Amino acid sequence: QVQLVESGGGLVQPGGSLRLSCAASGIAFSIYAMGWYRQAPGKQRELVATITTGGMTNYADSVKGRFTISRDNAKKMVYLQMNSLKPEDTAVYYCNARRKNDYWGQGTQVTVSS
């Protein structure tokens, strides 16, 4: 049974930082591309960042220079370091594992507000 479990969300003031974590189980983690997506109220889910099996990264223009995705294959973890957070970053953040199939976590809420 595949499970992706996100953690680390919460309420943070504008300009603050959060680190999201995603723990994977039930998959051969190292052969999956991993990613973070987000969905704000009333909007479609959108890509935030992805990381390939070889460690190549890709970011949405809106988060470039502020967010960093990383992975630890030994621990089966993927992380999203979010700095200089803005109110428009408020959303539910989802972890994704992709190879032939797509797997999703349940999401973690990030709220950026003063």
Give tens-digit pLDDT for 6-57: 999 999 999 999 999 999 999 999 999 999 999 999 999 999 999 999 999 9
3-state secondary structure of 88: helix
In angstroms, how far is CA 103 from the centroid of its own chain? 13
CA–CA distance, 36 with 9 (Å, rounded to integer): 13
Burial label, 15 (beta-carbon count in 10 A; 0-12, 13-18, 19+): exposed
C-beta separation of 26 from 32 below 8 A: no
Condensed to tens digits (0 to 9), the pLDDT of residues 84-94 reads 999 999 999 99
